[in-house]
């Protein structure tokens, strides 16, 4: 395992990219930057994935509700979000099968109009996933829903569809460790407290970062 003091020391080097926060966003950016040959460093105030990124619902999903929003609000951005997320769902499942698996979800139907509404919506979800689809969505008769969920009130059936489920904090850590292996710097318990500017004043070029508990000057590449 990499020596912490050595990592602190390496933070003095110039970097192309300094990332604040070691949650899903920071870890993903660190990994992508490292793959693209950038010299990147990440600092995390507490522990990697200790924030929202270890407390999610752990769904690896395209976002059925974003698809609904895309139609209700005629919002192309929501639509694109679903297409991109369905793509990423497959990427993560292929790259980290030990951390992700398919998960069957059932939407129970209580009103007659919900049957065509959810059936069509989830078929569209399948269609958008294309070759990256998991299992096709399907209508479940009321008896099957009652057998699966005996505590539910009487339904008109349900629609079953598949999304993914993943170990959020383990994936987070895997990205950080993989980037470290490829030469990136990643430090936990390192809270960034100040941007250091050349000459100390506003408008100066960014030349470093201050950290809580350390009088430290790192040198991200000036820009
Ligand atoms: C209830 C809930 C359920 C969710 N369910 C899902 C789901 O099922 N599937 C899904 O894909 N997404 C889900 N999400 C969304 C997902 O969890 C977030 O989008 C994601 O975790 C955000 O990651 P992040 O890295 O941006 O933020 P965080 O995980 O919050 O990371 C930010 C990090 O920055 C650090 N930090 C802050 N200030 C500093 C500083 N000055 N110096 C150094 N470090 C600092 C913090 O300590 C923290 O670790 C859910 C979100 C919520 C709230």
pLDDT at 223: 42
Are 28 and 124 part of one and the same domain?
no
Q: Which of 25-34, 47-56, 110-119, 207-216 has the lowest mean pLDDT?
A: 207-216
Are 104 and 87 part of one and the same domain?
yes
Q: What is the DSSP letter of 2?
A: -
The model's pLDDT over 144-202, given as tens digits with 9 standing for 90+, comes to 999 999 999 999 999 999 999 999 999 999 999 999 999 999 999 999 988 777 766 66
Are 138 and 81 part of one and the same domain?
yes
Q: Mean pLDDT across the stretch 109-131?
A: 96
User: Which of 164, 180, 202 is the endpoint of a domain?
Assistant: 164
Parent domain of 96: 59-164
Are 111 and 195 part of one and the same domain?
no
Are 187 and 140 part of one and the same domain?
no
Are 75 and 132 part of one and the same domain?
yes
Specify the long-range contacts of residues 94-102, CB closer than 8 Å, at least 24 apart. 96/166, 96/171, 96/174, 99/166, 99/167, 99/170, 99/171, 99/174, 100/60, 100/164, 100/165, 100/166, 100/167, 100/171, 101/164, 101/165, 101/166, 102/134, 102/135, 102/162, 102/163, 102/164, 102/165
pLDDT at 203: 65
Q: Which of 41, 45, 52, 194 to mutate to test the pocket of ligand 1 (most atoms within 8 A of CB)?
A: 52
pLDDT at 217: 64
Are 129 and 196 part of one and the same domain?
no
Are 150 and 66 part of one and the same domain?
yes
**Ligand 1 centre distance from Cα of residue 176 (Å):** 15
Are 84 and 114 part of one and the same domain?
yes
User: Which of 145, 164, 183 is the endpoint of a domain?
Assistant: 164
- Cβ atoms 115, 139 nearer than 8 A: yes
The answer for residues whose C-beta is within 8 angstroms of residue 65's C-beta and 6 or more apart is: none
- Cβ atoms 166, 187 nearer than 8 A: no
What is the overall mean pLDDT for the chain?
Answer: 91
**Ligand 1 centre distance from Cα of residue 137 (Å):** 30
**Ligand 1 centre distance from Cα of residue 219 (Å):** 26
Give the domain CATH number at 40.
Answer: 3.50.50.60
Q: Mean pLDDT across the stretch 8-22?
A: 90
Q: Whose CA is nearest to atom 37 of ligand 1?
A: 21
The model's pLDDT over 17-35, given as tens digits with 9 standing for 90+, comes to 999 999 999 999 999 999 9
Are 115 and 180 part of one and the same domain?
no
Count of domains for the chain: 2
In angstroms, what CA-CA distances link 119 with 62, 109, 193?
Answer: 17, 10, 51
Q: Is the pLDDT at 91 greater than 70, yes or no?
A: yes
pLDDT at 214: 74
Are 95 and 120 part of one and the same domain?
yes
> Pocket residues for ligand 1 (CB within 6 Å)?
20-26, 43-46, 50-53, 56-59, 191-192
Atom of ligand 1 nearest to the CA of 59: 8
Are 14 and 39 part of one and the same domain?
yes
**Ligand 1 centre distance from Cα of residue 91 (Å):** 20
Atom of ligand 1 nearest to the CA of 191: 42
- The pTM (predicted TM-score) of the whole model is 0.89
pLDDT band at 218 (very low <50, low <70, confident <90, very high): low
pLDDT at 219: 60
């Amino acid at each position: 395992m990499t020596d912490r003091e050595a990592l602190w020391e390496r933070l003095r080097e110039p970097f192309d990219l300094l990332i604040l926060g070691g949650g899903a966003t920071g870890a993903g950016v660190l990994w992508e930057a490292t793959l693209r040959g950038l010299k990147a460093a990440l600092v995390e105030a507490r522990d990697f994935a200790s924030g929202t990124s270890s407390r999610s619902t752990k769904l690896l999903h395209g976002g059925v509700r974003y698809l609904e929003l895309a139609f209700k609000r005629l919002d192309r951005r929501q639509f694109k979000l679903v297409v991109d997320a369905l793509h990423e769902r497959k990427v993560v499942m292929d790259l980290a099968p030990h951390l992700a698996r398919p998960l069957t979800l059932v939407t129970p139907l209580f009103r007659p109009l919900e049957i065509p509404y959810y059936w069509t919506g989830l078929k569209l979800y399948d269609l958008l996933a294309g070759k990256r689809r998991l299992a096709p969505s399907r209508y479940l008769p009321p008896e099957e829903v009652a057998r699966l969920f005996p505590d539910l009130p009487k339904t008109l059936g349900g629609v079953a569809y598949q999304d993914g489920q993943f170990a959020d904090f383990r994936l987070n850590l895997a990205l950080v460790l993989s980037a470290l292996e490829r030469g990136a710097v990643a430090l936990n318990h390192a809270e960034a407290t100040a941007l250091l500017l050349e000459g100390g004043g506003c408008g100066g070029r960014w030349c470093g970062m201050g950290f809580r508990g350390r009088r430290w000057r790192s040198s991200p590449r000036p820009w």
